[in-house]
Amino acid sequence: MNSHTRYEQRVVWSVVGTDIGPLLLAATPHGLVNVVFHASDAVRDKALDRLASRLGGELVEAPESPLLAEAIRQVEAYFAGERQDFDLPLDWSLISGFNRQVLRELHSGVPFGSVVAYGDLAGRVGEPRAAQAVGVAMGSNPLPVVVPCHRVVESDGGIGGFGGGLETKRKLLALEGVLPEPLF
């Protein structure tokens, strides 16, 4: 294997502290590929094992790598209230089909400070009766926060579910001004 091939199979990762707890960020040469909530040592190790089995190649902790350094900078700016969107290359290889289509629409079409109902998002991708499938797509989002699944809510005004936990979803929506800040 030559060094170019080895580089292409390399996945770099780092854990960054945020107001919602530690986030694992992982990237391939194609872009940010995974964001994992609550990245304690055990969660981090499980996520890295999953990435290794799905993507192959070498996993290296490298917060100084150019893509991760920029992702970390943007995540920190977002949580500091200094950034409203992310300008990062994304590697969509962990998701496909309908789920990818829904997440791409969410990423490009639901800006900071706004929300969309599951059914409305389904309609945007041409499947107006697929609200539950949109919920499944949100639950399989490999890039939460950056691809803002926290902005998807129930049509009746309910907050809906969230893989990172409802308290995390509330904090993210409060950060974006959609909900009031939690009192405690």
C-alpha–C-alpha distance, residues 173 and 62, integer Å: 30
Say which residue the tokens 């990423």 belong to: 107
DSSP string, 33-76: EEEESS--HHHHHHHHHHHHHHH-S-EEE-TTSHHHHHHHHHHH
Three-state DSSP state, 171: helix
To the query of whether residue 149 is one of the catalytic residues in this protein, the response is yes
C-alpha–C-alpha distance, residues 174 and 150, integer Å: 11
Which listed residue (24, 106, 137, 149) is catalytic? 149
Query: How far is CA 70 from each of CA 22, 46, 94, rounded to the nearest angstrom?
Result: 17, 24, 21
Is residue 150 within 8 A of residue 170, CB to CB? The reply is no
Cα–Cα nearest to 16, from 91, 83, 59, 78:
78
Is residue 21 within 8 A of residue 38, CB to CB? The reply is yes
| Residues with catalytic function | 149
